[in-house]
Structure 1
Amino acid sequence: MAHDIEIIEKTPAEYAYKKRRSDRLMRSQLMMFALMIFMTLISFAAVQAGFSAYFVIPVVLLLAAVQVGLQLYYFMHMSEKGHGLVAFFMYGGILIAFLTVLTFVTIIWW
C-alpha cells in the first residue's frame, strides 16, 4: 500500500506572483489596521473634547459600524475569492439584525 504524493514544482514566475500578491495583501491589512486605530482615536477625541452627546453618540456609532464592516471585509478575508457564500450569509445576518433592531426601535419610540 504505497501512498503516492504528487509534488508540483512552481516556476520562478509563480513564486514571484505569489510574493507580490502576499506583499499587496499585507500592505492592505496594515493600512486598514492603521485606519481603524485612527477611527478609534477620533472617537476618543470626540468624547474627550466635550462635544454634545447629540453629536458624539452618532459619530461614535457610525465609526463603529464602519470598523465592523472593514474588519469583516479585510481581516476575515472576505475580499478574497471563494468566500461568496460565507459573505452572503454574514451580510444577510447583519441585515436581519439591523432590521430587527430598527423594528423594535420603531415600535417602542414611534
Structure 2
Amino acid sequence: MAEKVSGATEQFDFEKQKRKDEMKQQVITFVLMIVFTIVAFAMIEAELDRLFVIPVLLVLAAIQVGFQVYYFMHMSHKGHELPAVMFYGGVFTAFLTILALTVLVWW
C-alpha cells in the first residue's frame, strides 16, 4: 500500500513539474511576442527605411506565428502529430501556390 501512495506522489510531482515548465515556456513566449510587437511599432515610429523595415516586420511576424502555433495551440504535445502535419502541409501548399503565382506574374 505504501508503494502505491509513493508512486502516486511521484507521478503527481512529475505532472506538477511538467505543467510548471510548460507555463514557464508560455509566459516567456508571451513576453517575447510583446517585445517583438513593441520593436515593430518602434521601427515604424522611427520612420526607418522601408527596405529595412518590411523584411524585418515579416520575419518578426513569422516568428510570432510560429510561437503561437507551437506553444499556444499546443502543437508541441504528444498526440498532436496529425494536426501538426496537416497545418505544415497547408503552409507548404500555400508557399508553393504563392511561389507559382509569383513566377507566373514575373515571367
The TM-score, its normalising length taken from structure 2, stands at 0.89
> Of 79, 84, 109, which residue of structure 1 is paired with 2:81?
84
* Counterparts of 2:68 and 2:33, CA distance in 1: 9
User: What is the total number of aligned residue pairs between the two structures?
Assistant: 102
* Code of the aligned partner of 1:55: F
Alpha-carbon RMSD:
1.4
> Of 16, 22, 26, which residue of structure 2 is paired with 1:29?
26
Shift of 1:70: 1.3
* Code of the aligned partner of 2:58: L
Runs of 5+ in structure 2 lacking a partner? none
Quote the sequence identity (%): 45
Runs of 5+ in structure 1 lacking a partner? 1-8
Structure in which a larger fraction of residues adopt helix: 2
The TM-score, its normalising length taken from structure 1, stands at 0.86
Structure 1 runs (4+) deviating above 6 angstroms are: none
Q: Per-residue CA shift, 1:39-92, capped at 9, x if unaligned?
A: 111111111111111111111111111111111011110111111111001011
| Paired residues for 1:1-110 under 5 Å | 11-110=8-107
Shift of 1:36: 0.6
Using CA pairs under 8 Å that are at least 6 residues apart, name the structure with larger relative contact order, 1 or 2: 2
* Counterparts of 2:65 and 2:51, CA distance in 1: 22
